[in-house]
Amino acid sequence: TDTLRRSRPATADPGYLSAAQPIEFSTEGGQTAHALWYEPVNSDAEGPADACPPLIVMSHGGPTASASPALNLATQFWTTRGFAVVDVNYGGSTGYGREYRERLKGRWGIVDVDDCANAARHLASEGLVDDDKLAIRGGSAGGYTTLCALTFRDDFSVGASYFGVADAEALATDTHKFESRYLDGLIGPYPDAKELYRERSPIHYADRLSVPLILFQGLEDKVVPPSQAEVMVEALRLRGLPFAYVAFEAEQHGFRKAETIVRSIEAELWFYGRILGFDPADRIEPVPAENLPGDE
């Protein structure tokens, strides 16, 4: 057959595209979890032959959504800049059957965090990434997973939270009507499980943070109000940890403006550069940050 015309013309040089590779890895309880693996690809650059790339672990939102292998230019942003990426379909993600989806039932903040950490460990043990340069990032529910991973575990070197949930109880009581009972299945019936909500909320254990973190927040966010990010910021400041807090006027839960999206991902790259010890090739305006390595 002959292809007369593709439904959508190619928009990028394949020399800059990293294709998703489905992987499986062992996780808690002898179970198997799933993810999409992306190698760094850039036809204009090549990393040191004797070094493994840094890794970005992506924790998708939902939390019962899933990572897709479809072209995502945000993922390609990282792979063209020397990062390997693993987009984790942790237990609870759709697309792997009911039993897999129900792993997250009552265990949000545990199963997702374990699977993200074990994805990173698996790739490091395979010699595919630098186990001293492991980052985790996510937005909304994925931001919650990120904050939990950085608060309750010590697997990662740095993280980025985009309007991440820090207070599960506040989400249960104040969220919009459509998702008003969503957390009953993810954590437990509220208010009967009130103490469990507190135990799963990084905001109450922010003093356990031990690695650098950059937080992005819309100042008009009604789902995860800025106050949640600000509590985490204050804890980072008190602990003397490197951090940056980037807040955007007229943005809500999920950034909409093109300039916000560009500014946030470039700021994230800049922050990783300061923490992991490299200079981005991109010309990026620094963001206000505190306690950075090398700063007096």
Which pLDDT tens digit goes with each residue over 115-174?
999 999 999 999 999 999 999 999 999 999 999 999 999 999 999 999 999 999 988 887
Indicate the DSSP class of residue 28: G
Q: What is the CA radius of gyration of the chain?
A: 19
Q: What is the dihedral of CA 135, 140, 144, 145, to 10 degrees?
A: -50
Which pLDDT tens digit goes with each residue over 197-209?
999 999 999 999 9
Split into its structural domains, the chain has a count of 1
Does residue 55 lie within any of the structural domains? yes
Strand positions, DSSP E, the chain: 21-26, 32-38, 55-59, 84-89, 134-139, 158-162, 213-218, 243-248, 289-290
Q: Which two tokens stand for residue 135?
A: 């980052």
Does residue 7 lie within any of the structural domains? no
Q: Among the listed ranges 3-12, 51-60, 158-167, which one has the minimum average pLDDT value? A: 3-12
Return the CATH number at 126. Answer: 3.40.50.1820
pLDDT at 98: 97
Q: What is the pTM of this model?
A: 0.94
Q: Is the pLDDT of residue 10 over 80?
A: no
Domain carrying residue 122: 15-279
Does residue 104 lie within any of the structural domains? yes
Does residue 294 lie within any of the structural domains? no
What CA–CA distance (Å, rounded) separates 254 from 163? 7
What CA–CA distance (Å, rounded) separates 264 from 62? 21
Does residue 111 lie within any of the structural domains? yes
Torsions phi, psi for 53 (to 5 deg): -75, 155
Which pLDDT tens digit goes with each residue over 89-109?
999 999 999 999 999 999 999
Q: Is the pLDDT of residue 176 over 80?
A: no
Q: Are 165 and 228 in contact (CB under 8 A)?
A: yes
Average pLDDT of the chain, as a whole number:
94
| One-letter amino acid for residue 54 of the chain | P
3-state SS, residue 170? helix
Does residue 25 lie within any of the structural domains? yes
Does residue 97 lie within any of the structural domains? yes
| One-letter amino acid for residue 69 of the chain | P
Which pLDDT tens digit goes with each residue over 204-233?
999 999 999 999 999 999 888 999 999 999
